[in-house]
Chain A
Amino acid sequence: MGRYLLKRFLYLIPIMLGVSIITFALINLAPGDPAELILQADGMELTREAVEALREELGLNDPFYVRYGRWLWNVCRLDLGESFRTGRPVTEEIFYRLPATIELTFAALVFMVIVALPAGILSALYRHTLIDHLNRLWALLGASLPGFWLGLMLIYLFAVRLGLLPVMGRGSLHHLVLPAVTLGFGMAAVYTRILRASMLEALGQEYIRVARAKGLKEKWVIGRHALKNALLPAVTLLGMSFGHLLGGAAIVETIFAWPGVGKFAVDSIFNRDYPVIQGYALFMAVVFVLANLMVDLSYVSLDPRIRLERGK
């Protein structure tokens, strides 16, 4: 167990290094000269001398690895530069908005579990019945439904037409409902199918027959013997899905004016606020990697084969 953990942590080092290189290199994709941009943002005149002086001052004339090293050193001290737009440190801006994004993502995850778990199990238990067919239809729709459109339709239906729920911003639990449903809907459909498949797989195993032959209650056979095994493949995919949710959050936050990191990043994109965009990419990667780590650890605790074999 300990060795597995250690290995898992060590593996993060080259990955995070790679992530930082990509994040840093991305900014070079930007059209135009950053020095010119800064001067423009400050309303200064664009003379050749001024640009050159600023380039020198910012170290833009240094070779790539020097610039990267300097940037990485700053990043390690949690210094991602300042936002062109607000003038405040990027780290501060992101940390300030991160809780809102995490809240939204987790709410979506919870919605997903609440819907997908029973739907997947029922679909497997009542295979080829009406419930199963409805679930298949829903899964197909869920996979084909653009999240942003669903968000707009929900706003139209619940807020504009019925006036039941608030549309914009963050606050009470009511504010959370529509964004969370929008974000989690497609994922819930996907997981219903995954759980159905893994549940069917588990139910077809010999140990289920053994459990029934022992005279265990059907509830116990399904809830304990089948479900515990069926959850394993779903849990492995959960990490990846967290990434989908983080990405989708940017769109959902924009639609619902949810004051999270995603909306902030989208706003920054239109203001060409590169330090913020860069910081956003890096932060999301870190959150994603950490979420995956958590998922892996929970997987290990669920599956004794990994816990005991790899841990020796």
Chain B
Amino acid sequence: MGQSKSPGAGVVGYHAVGILKKQSETGTHGLWTAVLGRLLQDKLALLGLGIILVMVTAAVFAPYFAPNDPFKVDLMQRLLPPQAQYPLGTDHLGRCLLSRLFYGSRSSLTTAALALTAIMLISIPFGTLAGYCGGQVDNILMRIVDVLLAFPGLVLALVIAGILGPGLLNVMLAVAAVRWVGYARVIRVTVLSVKEKEFVSAARACGTSGLGIIIRHILPNVLSPVIILATLDIGRLIIAISSLSFLGLGAQPPVPEWGAMLNDGRSYMQVAPQLMIYPGLAIMTVALAFNLLGDGLRDALDPRGTVRL
């Protein structure tokens, strides 16, 4: 059973192979310089990057930007339409929607970043071990991956989050527990290809230890495709986390989180549609920004599509 044909080869894996091919042709350093050059020419990717920077600024300086206290309940001011005091109106408890959106960007961005960190912490050692050791170790580790991929991703995340109980941290853990698998596969393939390179054999011939080879020669090569994968994936992570939050599994009141705010707002669809329009728009904008940047990164790595004849 040489080739494991497990359910869900993953779009992520699909892209990564192309990236790997490209990377093996050029050196890591020159590659990134070239990529950066091409990226700076890609207006859409720059737009994405710009939006991300604005969002991060908004999250960091939320207290300065927010016109009102996002937690202050005022039942006399419920479901107000947009006006000078409340630029986007108020929610069902009379809290300022815009202020809550600002603070909400903190939850969304930090949970996504944490989830990504958790994914890296599991997938990099796992994938490296499988790829570097090969043989029986690889076989067993990959069967674990196959088993995890036999669950529909969101179903498993939902179940894990459900069993752990509501909470933003649990949702983040649940999403990371499901997502790391795809990364591990990509890392394993990268390691497999890097392992065969001359410089690794040379290092081994010089008596460098296994761990030394992994840290000095293999990991630097793994990082670059992983960064691109992460950029492409982070939009999906944000959506997945906010989906679970929307179901009520994530952020608990009164913490402002876009998915949870949408869930709160949906009951007031008829009287105050802005309550469900703006949080969704915010999620979409962030996801779109990361997708634009990710697409740009991928295109920059695969110039084949742009150079013709």
**Does chain A touch chain B in the assembled complex, meaning CB atoms less than 8 Å apart?**
yes
Question: Can you report 10 residue pairs joining A to B where beta carbons are below 8 Å apart?
Answer: A7-B1, A14-B143, A19-B151, A22-B147, A30-B165, A144-B287, A153-B277, A156-B276, A247-B157, A284-B151
- A269 in contact with B153 given A144-B291, A152-B266 (CB within 8 Å): no
Q: Does B211 contact A (CB under 8 A)?
A: no
Q: Which of B163-188 contact A (CB under 8 A)?
A: 163-165
B159 interface residue (CB < 8 Å to A): yes
Hey, which bits of chain B sit against chain A, CB under 8 A? Answer: 1, 5-11, 14, 143-144, 146-148, 150-165, 235-236, 239, 242-243, 246-249, 259, 262, 266, 269-270, 273, 276-277, 279-280, 283-285, 287-288, 291-292, 295
Chain B CB within 10 Å, residue with most, of A149, A248, A289: A149
Query: By the criterion CB–CB under 8 Å, are A149 and B5 in contact?
Result: no
Contact A240 B7 (CB under 8 A): yes
Given known pairs A7-B1, A239-B7, A240-B7, the reply for A266 and B247 (CB within 8 Å) is yes
Contact indicator B158/A265 (Cβ below 8 Å)? yes
Fill in one digit per residue for A105-140: 1 if any B CB lies within 8 Å of its CB, else 0: 000000000000000000000000000000000001
Give min CB distance, A275 to chain B, whole Å: 12
Residue among B153, B154, B235, B246 with max Cβ neighbours from chain A (10 Å): B154
* Known A29-B160, A153-B280, A251-B243; 7 more pairs at CB < 8 Å: A14-B143, A15-B146, A16-B150, A246-B155, A277-B163, A281-B156, A292-B7
A residues touching B (Cβ–Cβ < 8 Å)?
7, 11, 14-16, 18-19, 21-22, 26-27, 29-31, 140-141, 143-149, 152-153, 155-156, 160, 190, 194, 236-237, 239-240, 242-244, 246-248, 250-251, 254-255, 265-266, 268-270, 274, 277-278, 280-281, 284-285, 288-289, 292, 296
The 4 closest A-B pairs by CB, nearest first: A247-B154, A18-B147, A149-B280, A269-B162
Whole-angstrom distance between the alpha carbons of A152 and B266 in the complex? Answer: 7
Query: Which one of B152, B249, B259 contacts A285 once the chains associate, using CB atoms below 8 Å?
Result: B152
Please measure, in the bound complex, the distance between the C-alpha atom of A292 and the C-alpha atom of B165, giving whole angstroms.
Answer: 31
- Complex contact B165–A31 (CB within 8 A): yes
Tell which of A16, A18, A190, A250 has the most Cβ of chain B within 10 Å: A250
Q: In the complex, what residues of A have CB within 8 A of residue B269's CB? A: 152, 155-156, 160
Closest to A255 in B: B266
- Which residues of A lie under 8 Å from residue B163 when comparing CB positions? 26-27, 29-30, 269, 274, 277
